[in-house]
Structure 1
Amino acid sequence: MPRFARLFEAAADTLNAYYQTVAENDIDGLMALWIDEDFASFIDASGSHWHGIDSIRAGLAQLAAGQALPAAVEPLDVRVYDSLGTVVYAVAEAHRLRDPLAPPRMVYTTYVMVHERGEWRIAHVHASTMPNETANEFVAKMRQGQGALH
Structure 2
Amino acid sequence: MPRHKAQTAALMASPDDVEAQFYEALREADIDKLMALWTEEDDIVCIHPGGPRMVGHVAIRAAFEAVFANGAIQVHAENVRRVQSLSSSVHSVMERVDLLTAEGPKVGWVMATNVYFKTTQGWRLAVHHASPGTPHAPPEVVEAPSVLH
TM-score, normalised relative to structure 2: 0.77
Q: Residue 104 of structure 1: SS of its match in structure 2?
A: strand
| Structure 2 portions without partners, runs of 5+ | 1-11, 143-149
Query: Hey, what's the Cα distance between the residues in 1 that align with 2:17 and 2:84?
Result: 15
Q: CA deviation at 1:42?
A: 0.1
SS at match of 1:60: helix
Percent identity over paired residues: 29
Q: Which protein has the bigger helix share?
A: 1
Provide the residue aligned with 1:13 in structure 2.
Answer: 17
Q: In the comparison of the two structures, how many residue pairs are matched?
A: 130
Whether contact under 8 Å (1:105, 1:129) holds in the other structure is no
Q: Quickly say closer, same or farther: Cα 1:136–1:52, change in 2 above 3 A.
A: closer
Q: Distance in 2 between matches of 1:15 and 1:81?
A: 14
List gaps (5 residues or longer) in structure 1.
Answer: 1-7, 139-147
Q: Which residue of 2 aligns with 1:143?
A: none
- SS of 2:106's partner is coil
Tell me the SS of whatever aligns to 1:39.
coil
Which ranges of 4 or more aligned residues in structure 1 deviate by more than 6 Å?
none
Deviation at residue 131 of structure 1 after TM alignment? 4.4
* Distance (Å, rounded) in 1 between the aligned partners of 2:27 and 2:75: 7
**TM superposition shift of 1:49:** 2.2
- In structure 2, the residue matched to 1:22 is 26
CA contact (8 A) 1:42 1:56 kept: yes
1:49 aligns with 2:50: no
TM superposition shift of 1:46: 3.4
CA distance in 2: counterparts of 1:98 and 1:29, whole angstroms: 25
Query: What is the alpha-carbon root mean square deviation over aligned residues?
Result: 2.3
